[in-house]
Amino acid sequence: MIDILYFAWVRERIGLPRERLETNAATVADLIAELSAHEDRYAAAFADLSALRVAVDQELSDFNAPLTGVREIAIFPPMTGG
């Protein structure tokens, strides 16, 4: 099981702040493809990967990151702090 968190407009498009899923996806990119194929709201949120950032177990990472042993991933737009 893996926890997936969504923030900002990604959260709004998907309609959930977080969910827990069972997946056989090998990487973050595979998981995104799996979700996008499953439902339109995911396809809409993940349509442009260049507009998304990913964190794996609360560390900034990339779409090729493997999911083996990972507990939590987060998908969100570029950050706008400060």
Partner 1 sequence: MRIIVQPDPFDMGAEATAFTATAKGAGAIVTFTGITRDNAAGDLQAMEIEHYPGMTERALNDMAHQAMTRWQLIDCLVIHRHGRLLPNDPIMMVATAARHRADAFAAAEFLMDYLKSRAPFWKREITASGTDWVAPRDEDEAALKRW
Spatial strand order of the sheet with 2-6 comes to 18-21, 2-6, 72-76, 53-56, 59-61
Complex with partner 1: residue 41 or 77, whichever CB lies closer? 77
Q: Residue 24 is encoded by which pair of tokens?
A: 């056989």
The residue ranges that bind partner 1 (CB under 8 A) are 5, 7-9, 55, 58-60, 74, 76-82
Complex with partner 1: residue 14 or 74, whichever CB lies closer? 74
The DSSP 8-state label assigned to residue 50 in this structure reads: G
In the complex, minimum distance from the CB of residue 45 to partner 1, in angstroms, rounded to a whole number: 13
Complex with partner 1: residue 9 or 47, whichever CB lies closer? 9
In the complex, minimum distance from the CB of residue 37 to partner 1, in angstroms, rounded to a whole number: 26
Task: Report d(CA 74, CA 56) in Å as an integer.
Answer: 7
